[in-house]
Amino acid sequence: MDMDETKVLIVGGSSGMGLALARRCLAEGSGVIIAGRNAARLNAARDELGCPAALATAVADISREAEVAALFARIGRLEHIVSTAADIEGAYRLLPDIELSAAQKVVDSKFYGPLLLAKHGAPKLSANGSLTFVSGIAAYRPAARGSVVAAVNAGLEGLVRALAIELAPIRVNAVSPGWVDTPIWQ
């Protein structure tokens, strides 16, 4: 597709809630870019969505600033930016078993990623555009083994409140799901 006609960027669009959102946006007639770190997953998602002309894919790791900057350099104006990205592998552990490297990946994907998307993406949005990130129930109903995810979700919501002030009139929101059956639990 012509990247200049893209309207909605969905980071995490190769799986779970992001993929479901991509399906919905395409059905509503929007141009969509789905982004993620793994090209094969993105291609599989494109196949699953029926390879429509209004869909493009982009490989990018949102925890790496150079990749976020390069992603937006390839994209024209946007109406909406969404990130459902999360890397929680190895993060649901009791305290004695938590590896800092696994905790860091949660922070990278769910905190620094949104921060970088806002920094580099906001200039691409019009005044009625929006940024939407995903926190989660763990911020309010933490369970044993969930301390890292709980803390990052809560931190993301603090970031979102501050960004909403700084970037107004662009809307910045966090959506906080309960438990949803997606590939994240595989």
Applying CB under 6 A, the residues found at the interface with ligand NAP are: 11-12, 14-18, 36-38, 41, 61-63, 84-87, 109-110, 113, 134, 136-137, 177, 179-180, 182-184
Cis preceding-peptide flag for 169 (omega within 30 of 0): yes
Task: Please give the Cα distance from 156 to 135 (Å, whole number).
Answer: 6
Residue number, 16 or 121, with CB nearest to ligand NAP: 16
- From the CB of 14, what's the least distance to ligand NAP, in Å? 4
Task: Please give the Cα distance from 116 to 85 (Å, whole number).
Answer: 13
Enumerate long-range contacts of 44-48, CB under 8 Å, 24 or more apart: 44/14, 45/13, 45/14, 45/15, 45/19, 48/19
DSSP-derived pairing of the beta strands 8-11 and 78-83:
parallel
Residue number, 108 or 122, with CB nearest to ligand NAP: 108
Instruction: Name the closest residue to ligand NAP (Cβ).
Output: 16
- From the CB of 44, what's the least distance to ligand NAP, in Å? 10
Residue number, 84 or 130, with CB nearest to ligand NAP: 84
Residue number, 112 or 127, with CB nearest to ligand NAP: 112
Task: Please give the Cα distance from 15 to 56 (Å, whole number).
Answer: 15
- From the CB of 95, what's the least distance to ligand NAP, in Å? 20
